[in-house]
Amino acid sequence: MLASAAALAQADGGAAALSGPRADFAALDRTGDGFISKVEALGSPEIQKRFASFDLNKDGYLSDAEYAAAVDDNRKRILHDSAITARVKAALLAARGIPSLSISVATYEGRVQLSGLVSVPDIVSRAGRVAAGVVGVRTVHNDIRVRVK
């Protein structure tokens, strides 16, 4: 009978598995109590970093629903940061005299980091100003270096 239940769950696309806790939630919930504590959240740096903001009822634990909202929020942040990175790269590419292929762009929560090597000191500040002018950029950490000849 258990084998037929497993076969049925696979046949219906695993809908039965969706009713229980999520696999990633269960992996973090080491105590098996149905909640993720601050200590258990150490297994997921993104969840741990903003644990307090995800703990909506402020009980010191994340429920399955709070965890699902946290994962959804993290996915949205990643998409938003990816869009900012793309806009900064496009702006650098469109700017005259900036070797955009020599500059790397990384974004986290709207904070942009520029890095790479350029030949002229003026390009460093210009690239920083271009990045700062892009919609959605909160701050720019300009780590572009001038190549010594």
Torsion angles phi and psi, residue 47, rounded to 5: -70, -45
Q: How many CA within 13 A on the CB side of residue 26?
A: 7
pLDDT in tens, 39-53: 999 999 999 998 999
All structural domains of the chain with their residue ranges: 21-74, 78-146
The whole-number average pLDDT for the span 123-135 is: 96
**Per-residue pLDDT for 8 more than 70?**
no
Domain 78-146 adopts which CATH fold? Histidine-containing Protein; Chain: A; (3.30.1340)
SS3 38: coil
Alpha carbons 88 and 111: distance in angstroms, whole number: 11
Cβ neighbors of 22 (< 8 A, separation 6 or more) are 64, 67, 68
CATH 3.40.50 fits 21-74, yes or no: no
The confidence band for 148, taking pLDDT boundaries of 50, 70 and 90, is: confident
SS3 105: strand
Give the pair of three-digit tokens for residue 136. 């959605």
